[in-house]
Amino acid sequence: MSDKILVTGANGQLGTELQKLLPNAMFADVDVLDITDLEAVRKFVNDNQIDVIVNCAAYTAVDKAEDDVELAQKINEDGPRNLALSGAKIVHISTDYVFSGTNHKPYLPEDEANPVSVYGKTKRAGELAVLDNAKVAVVIRTAWLYSAHGNNFVKTMRRLGAEKESLNVVADQIGSPTYAGDLAQAIVTILPQINEVNKGIYHYTNEGVCSWYDFATEIMNLSGLACKVKPISSSAYPTKATRPFYSVLSKEKIKNVFNIEIPHWKESLVKCLKQF
Active-site amino acid positions: 119
d(CA 256, CA 246): 24
d(CA 232, CA 229): 10
d(CA 17, CA 87): 25
Q: Which helix (H) or strand (E) holds 212?
A: helix 212-223
Q: Which of 240, 181, 148 minimizes the C-alpha distance to 21?
A: 181
Q: Are 136 and 196 in contact (CB under 8 A)?
A: yes
- Bridge partners for 93 per DSSP: 140
What 3-state class would DSSP assign to 182? helix
What 3-state class would DSSP assign to 33? coil
CA separation, residue 171 to residues 98, 168, 212, 242, 271 (Å): 21, 9, 6, 15, 24
The 5-8 sheet, strands edge to edge: 26-28, 5-8, 52-55, 89-95, 137-142, 200-203
